[in-house]
Amino acid sequence: MTKKSTTVNRRSFIKSVGIAGGGLLIGFNWLACKRSEEVAVGETALEMPDEWFELNGYLKIGDNGVVTIYSPNPEIGQNVKTSMPMMVAEELDVDWNNVIVEQAPLNTELYSRQLAGGSQSIRQGWEPLRRAGATARYMLLEAAAKQLEVPVEELSVEDGIISHSGSDKKISYGEIAKAAAEIEIPEEEQVILKSKNDFKIIGSSRKNVDAKKIVTGQPLFGLDTYKEGMLTAMIVHPPKFGMEFKSMDADKIKEMPGIKDVFTIDTYPEGLQKQWSDVSAFSKLVVVLGESTWQVMQAKKALKVEWDLNPELTKKIEILEKSAGMGEVSGLESSAIHTSLMADVGSKKAETIRKDGDPETAFKKATRIIERSYTCPFLAHNCMEPMNFFANVTEDKAELLGPIQTPEYAEKTIQSRLGLDLENIDIQMTRMGGGFGRRLYGNFLVEAAVISQKAGAPVKLVYSREDDMTDGVYRPAYHVTYRAALDANNKITAFHVNAGGIKESPLFANRFPAGAIENYLAESWTLDSNISIGAFRAPRSNFIAGAEQSFLDELAEETGQDPIQFRLDLLKKAKESPVGENNDYDATRFAGVLEMVRDKSGWGRQDQNSNRGISAYYCHNSYVAQILDLRVQNNEPIIDKVVCAVDCGIVVNPDAAKNMVEGGTIDGIGHALYSKISFEDGMPQQSNYDTYRLIRHKEAPKSIEVYFIENGIDPTGLGEPPFPPVIGALANALYKATGKRFYDQPYIAGLQGELKT
């Protein structure tokens, strides 16, 4: 083992001897516990002590050796509910079969960053979770040494059984737990963390702790919520971005079977202190409240509502349309206007973000200039489980339950919106049927709370698929133009990227190939809009990676170089003599995934009937390279294989990690090929899966091979990094298949009539 400072002080831990039958509770900053019933792990049912105390922020050991760990971060399918407790169990040296995992409620006093986003859960939990397990292990060993009357240095532990090397004496964690609670919390330097070479749980595949509940249909998700006396609520929002509520006639609707009330709410009234997560295009909404979802849906369809143009939103858009010469101003936007604004106005608003060398002079002296522009549309998140939340708000407290990625921020908004003290707000998290960034924005939670308060009853707010897809918080529409200057020897002398979007720029000025080219210029711009936007899986990277990697492939071809070697040569320059000081990638690790994917895929030896595209990208602290094999059959693209090389540091749970890479790869391919949200006079033109295209099972790659670089580096992100680069690999393979470059997503539009047979 290696000794490592835990940076944990005595006040970071709480002890208790109050467990029925004896036991040890070790508190720490990432876990929580509460009463658990008998739980089946695999085929074995764990027998619980007679009573558990409900305490937040604890690793709990029963007198029979069973350990209960509460996972603090929201679970959206990234498997943190399994992987985070694995890290605790590793350092605790307990048998994984004796571990029970439960979801912790929101508790901002005990937890830091109780959030699912940015692929940071494992990365930021790596140290605190291991420290917690190691500290508990220390205290158990100290207690055992006293009871066995032997030096602690002569004790070892395996699977929760402590053994003495000089005798046959053994004692279990359960037997010593009560005595361990009397041990003083150790100083930082006393705690020993395992050497990474000694890991037994970390790095081994463990089944999803919710797997049985998922496949047997047990309640896990927000939509599963049912409470006695609960009413169902649905909302009606304006049909167009730029409009607001005017009036309605609800008298006949209230007489429909099961309907309790129809009223309006203002989710975010003027002057409310909003959090960054309170993104919503529509604050003033119509609510239909009834006994069942079906009854409420029928009433909602029959309700007639009048809407007006919002004068404030019209004024905001007027500036943009006049500057683009788009004619009469209405405040109702169309995709044609967006395209024109981004192409004609956006670049004129650009701000220089990074400049190395003298790119202007280099472009003037260039023998050739290669210039290409790339675009993508708005995207809807389209989680399988639509937005929903349960709320029971009374005069003095609020009980909230449902799927949310940002419970900490939602709690603060509820405090401000309802005027309640934080200690009287209880947010419980359910497993989520997809998030992808949409559930970072908790307007639906706030809506549920306001509805419950106004109705004076517990309610479950349920979005229909159409509500979900037309309510906003979309992936932004983006536009980027790349230019490269070449001299007479086909050497790149300057590189220029001008990137922007509605209402966000996708630019990462300090990412590759920044640092590899002497004369480099990065510019950024944004255009305003009435349409609400937000983070989508791998924000900004989900577009810029595909565009950048497509352009680099085209440069490789223009300069007569192999695409992989072209990238490796640039990375060698960035490593040996980097330009600038703010390059945010490690050139060695970046090159490592390119070399691995080249070797694992047999690059250069591919089937002549297949067309191969390469791409590699760095985001969320990790590196992913992908090679995609594509062929054409009956004028349809068939993706035979994607080979992925990933450097995300230590892989905690290999099977789960592989699943994430596979899922991200399929997700990236599907959105790049098929998906878009478009607008006509402010109205979304896609409202359900009949018009919004997602990838189908038969269109997914027939094979995905995943390889991880083993370098012993602490874990980095994995939920998002596999998504962005595959878009570039797809575009480059499509070029090989069709002889045509693909600049505009979704690529299916450019494929029509272009595929070679």
Provide the terminal-to-terminal Cα distance of the chain, rounded to the nearest Å: 60
Specify the amino acid at residue 214: I
Instruction: Assign residue 629 the CATH number of its domain.
Output: 3.30.365.10
Residues 104, 236: one domain?
Answer: no
With contact defined as beta carbons under 8 Å apart, do 541 and 726 qualify?
no
Q: When comparing pLDDT for 493 and 128, which is higher?
A: 493
Three-state SS string across 641-698, please?
EEEEEEECCCCCCHHHHHHHHHHHHHHHHHHHHHCCECEECCEECCCCCCCCCCCCHH
Q: Which of 462, 477, 509 is the last residue of a domain?
A: 462
- The pLDDT, as a whole number, for residue 328 is 44
Q: Is 516 a residue whose pLDDT tops 90?
A: yes
- The pLDDT, as a whole number, for residue 268 is 97
Query: Cα separation of 673 and 745, whole Å?
Result: 7
Q: Residue 451: beta bridge partners?
A: none
Residues 447, 303: one domain?
Answer: yes
Q: Does 368 fall in a domain?
A: no
The tokens describing 551, both together, are 């352009």
The tokens describing 540, both together, are 């900004």
Q: Is 1 a residue whose pLDDT tops 60?
A: no
Query: Cα separation of 403 and 220, whole Å?
Result: 10
Residues 565, 584: one domain?
Answer: yes
Query: Cα separation of 682 and 689, whole Å?
Result: 20
> Which H or E run includes 353?
strand 351-356
With contact defined as beta carbons under 8 Å apart, do 225 and 274 qualify?
no
Q: What confidence tens digit (pLDDT) does each residue in 635-647 have?
A: 788 999 999 999 9
> Which H or E run includes 390?
strand 388-393
Query: Cα separation of 744 and 374, whole Å?
Result: 6
Question: Who's near 599: CB < 8 A, 6+ residues apart?
Answer: none
Peptide bond before residue 746 is cis, with ω within 30 degrees of 0 = yes
Q: Which of 53, 52, 16 is nearest to 181 (CA)?
A: 16
User: Averaged over 728-744, what is the pLDDT?
Assistant: 96
Q: Does 543 fall in a domain?
A: no
- The pLDDT, as a whole number, for residue 514 is 98
Residues 147, 204: one domain?
Answer: yes
CA of residue 449 relative to chain centroid, distance? 25
Q: Does 488 fall in a domain?
A: no
| Residue 322 DSSP code | H
CA of residue 525 relative to chain centroid, distance? 25
Residues 178, 261: one domain?
Answer: no
Q: What confidence tens digit (pLDDT) does each residue in 405-434 have?
A: 999 999 999 999 999 999 999 999 999 999
Q: Is 230 a residue whose pLDDT tops 50?
A: yes
pTM: 0.92
> Which residue reads 């970072």 in tokens?
440
Residues 196, 66: one domain?
Answer: yes
Query: Cα separation of 637 and 696, whole Å?
Result: 13
Q: Which of 10, 5, 2 is nearest to 127 (CA)?
A: 5
Q: Does 536 fall in a domain?
A: no
Q: Is 17 a residue whose pLDDT tops 70?
A: no
Local structure of 554: helix, strand or coil: helix
Q: Which of 215, 240, 275 is the last residue of a domain?
A: 215
The upper half-sphere exposure of residue 296, i.e. CA atoms within 13 Å in the direction of its Cβ, equals 24
- The pLDDT, as a whole number, for residue 129 is 86
Specify the amino acid at residue 486: L
Confidence of residue 552 (pLDDT cuts 50, 70, 90): very high
The tokens describing 645, both together, are 């090389």
Q: Is 697 a residue whose pLDDT tops 90?
A: yes
Kindly compute the dihedral angle of the four CA atoms of residues 296, 301, 306, 311, in this order, to the nearest 10 degrees.
80
Query: Cα separation of 191 and 109, whole Å?
Result: 24
User: Averaged over 689-694, what is the pLDDT?
Assistant: 96
Any alpha helices (H) in 216-291, and if so which ranges? 251-254
Q: Does 336 fall in a domain?
A: no
Q: Which of 54, 56, 67, 57 is nearest to 24 (CA)?
A: 67
- The pLDDT, as a whole number, for residue 46 is 66
Q: What confidence tens digit (pLDDT) does each residue in 428-472 have?
A: 999 999 999 999 999 999 999 999 999 999 999 999 999 999 999
Q: Does 187 fall in a domain?
A: yes
Q: Which of 709, 603, 723, 698 is nearest to 647 (CA)?
A: 709
Q: Does 540 fall in a domain?
A: no
Which of 170-174, 198-202, 362-366, 512-516 has the lowest average pLDDT?
170-174
CA distances from 136 to 141, 283, 450 (A): 9, 48, 43
Residues 33, 132: one domain?
Answer: yes
Q: Is 10 a residue whose pLDDT tops 50?
A: no
Which of 15-19, 297-301, 342-346, 397-401 has the lowest average pLDDT?
15-19
The boundaries of the domain holding residue 630 are 554-751
The tokens describing 265, both together, are 């709410």
Q: Going along 589-714, which residue ranges are E strands?
A: 611-619, 622-633, 636-647, 679-680, 683-684, 703-708
Q: Residue 398: beta bridge partners?
A: 393, 425
Question: Who's near 227: CB < 8 A, 6+ residues apart?
Answer: 390, 392, 458, 460
Give the number of domains in the chain.
3
User: Averaged over 215-244, what is the pLDDT?
Assistant: 96
Residues 99, 244: one domain?
Answer: no
Question: Who's near 733: CB < 8 A, 6+ residues apart?
Answer: 611, 612, 613, 628, 629, 630
| Residue 430 DSSP code | P
Q: Which of 443, 462, 481 is the last residue of a domain?
A: 462
Please provide the average confidence, as pLDDT, over all residues in the chain.
89
Confidence of residue 47 (pLDDT cuts 50, 70, 90): low
Query: Cα separation of 499 and 495, whole Å?
Result: 13
With contact defined as beta carbons under 8 Å apart, do 650 and 709 qualify?
no
Q: Is 297 a residue whose pLDDT tops 70?
A: yes
Q: Is 326 a residue whose pLDDT tops 60?
A: no
Q: When comparing pLDDT for 53 and 563, which is higher?
A: 563
Residues 567, 433: one domain?
Answer: no
With contact defined as beta carbons under 8 Å apart, do 652 and 206 qualify?
no
Confidence of residue 30 (pLDDT cuts 50, 70, 90): very low
- The pLDDT, as a whole number, for residue 319 is 54
- The pLDDT, as a whole number, for residue 197 is 94
User: Averaged over 584-596, what is the pLDDT?
Assistant: 98
Q: Which of 686, 675, 318, 620 is nearest to 469 (CA)?
A: 686
Percent of the chain whose pLDDT exceeds 70? 89
Residues 195, 251: one domain?
Answer: no
Residues 151, 229: one domain?
Answer: no
Q: When comparing pLDDT for 103 and 552, which is higher?
A: 552
- The pLDDT, as a whole number, for residue 69 is 76
Q: Does 125 fall in a domain?
A: yes
Q: Is 32 a residue whose pLDDT tops 70?
A: no
Residues 181, 289: one domain?
Answer: no
Q: What confidence tens digit (pLDDT) does each residue in 647-662 have?
A: 999 999 999 999 999 9
Give just the sign of the alpha carbon dihedral 373, 377, 378, 383. negative
Q: Is 512 a residue whose pLDDT tops 50?
A: yes
Query: Cα separation of 117 and 405, whole Å?
Result: 7
